[in-house]
């Protein structure tokens, strides 16, 4: 697992006020290599497309396509946000890990992580491990075997990241590729209205190109969004490698695979990946 490439989130209490339909809290192309299956118009919320999206994100976040193996993942990657854990990188310092454990406890009172809620509330907003530590890490791995905890992780992923991204992308007239581009951005940069968040990136892109919903060209708009995102990525050392855009998303865009249909071939941080079906 390439932990140096794990990305952290901004605080999740920020509402996507600048994104009209979002839910609160919620390189070189290789066209010849990408033979697009003619299954047009299926959104990222289709079960198969959603699984593809999770594999794509996991290739960048975990150097693996096996995203379901990440329920148990937990470590401090030294980015000032405390622990980063689970399928989407819930952070103890940014509030979403606290939200997750609270949701897990709503679903299953008395679970193995419930006793850490006071500590998670205390460390929220900091990089501290006070009241957590190795015992918490061990109990997280144990909880990850519980299907209820897995459901809680899926629920919070959808509430905070996936659903708002797909909803806004559809409102902007984007097909599955654009929906994924939004989702990957909100995973890395978090929801919000500041310039370094998903909302800020979208706002910057709209200054350069019209969205399809505004009558603009889908390819030109997605290129503008990717360019705006890379500006933000390069501001922080942990995000400065922009290959998840340059050798992944741009490959699909240059192939005009707007429906994100397999087979898909891409690279992240120099490592090659493929999804054949």
Neighbours of 58 (CB within 10 A): 21
Please tell me the distance from the alpha carbon of residue 176 to that of residue 166, in angstroms, as a whole number. 9
Pairing of the two strands 90-91 and 83-85: antiparallel
Q: Are 166 and 45 in contact (CB under 8 A)?
A: yes
Kindly write down the DSSP assignment for every residue of 22-74, as one continuous string: PPS------GGG----S-TT--TTSHHHHHHHHHHHHHHHTSSS-GGGGGG-E
Please tell me the distance from the alpha carbon of residue 180 to that of residue 232, in angstroms, as a whole number. 18
Q: Which of 79, 139, 172, 218 is catalytic?
A: 79
Q: Which of 33, 45, 46, 61 is catalytic?
A: 61
Q: Are 216 and 209 in contact (CB under 8 A)?
A: yes
Distances in whole angstroms, Cα of residue 158 to Cα of each of 127, 166, 206: 25, 10, 25
Residue 112's contacts (CB-CB under 8 Å, 6 or more residues apart) are 139, 142, 143, 146
Bridge partner list, 268: 271
Sign of CA dihedral 227, 156, 164, 36: positive
For residue 155, indicate whether it is catalytic: no
For residue 248, indicate whether it is catalytic: no
Just list the catalytic residues: 61, 79
């Amino acid at each position: 697992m390439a932990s140096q490439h794990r990305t952290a989130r901004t605080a999740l209490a920020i509402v996507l006020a600048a994104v009209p339909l979002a839910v609160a809290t919620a390189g070189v192309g290789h066209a010849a290599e990408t033979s697009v299956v003619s299954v047009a118009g299926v959104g990222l919320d289709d079960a198969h497309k959603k699984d593809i999206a999770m594999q794509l994100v996991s290739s960048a976040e975990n150097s693996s396509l096996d995203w379901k193996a990440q329920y148990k993942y937990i470590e401090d990657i030294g980015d000032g946000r405390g622990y980063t854990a689970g399928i989407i990188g819930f952070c103890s310092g940014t509030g979403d890990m606290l939200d997750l454990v609270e949701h897990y406890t709503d679903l299953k009172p008395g679970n193995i992580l419930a006793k850490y809620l006071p500590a998670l509330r205390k460390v929220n907003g900091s990089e501290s491990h006070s009241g957590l530590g190795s015992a918490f890490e061990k109990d997280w791995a144990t909880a990850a075997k519980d299907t209820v905890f897995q459901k809680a992780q899926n629920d919070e992923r959808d509430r905070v990241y996936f659903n708002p991204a797909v909803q806004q992308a559809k409102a902007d007239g984007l097909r599955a590729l654009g929906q994924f581009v939004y989702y990957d951005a909100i995973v890395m940069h978090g929801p919000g209205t500041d310039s370094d968040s998903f909302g800020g990136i979208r706002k910057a892109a709209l200054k350069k190109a019209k969205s399809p919903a505004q009558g603009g060209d889908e390819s030109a708009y997605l290129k503008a969004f990717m360019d705006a995102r890379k500006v933000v990525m390069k501001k922080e050392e942990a995000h400065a490698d922009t290959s998840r855009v340059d050798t992944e998303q741009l490959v699909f865009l240059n192939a005009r695979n707007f429906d994100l249909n397999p087979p898909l071939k891409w690279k992240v941080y120099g490592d090659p990946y493929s999804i054949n079906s």
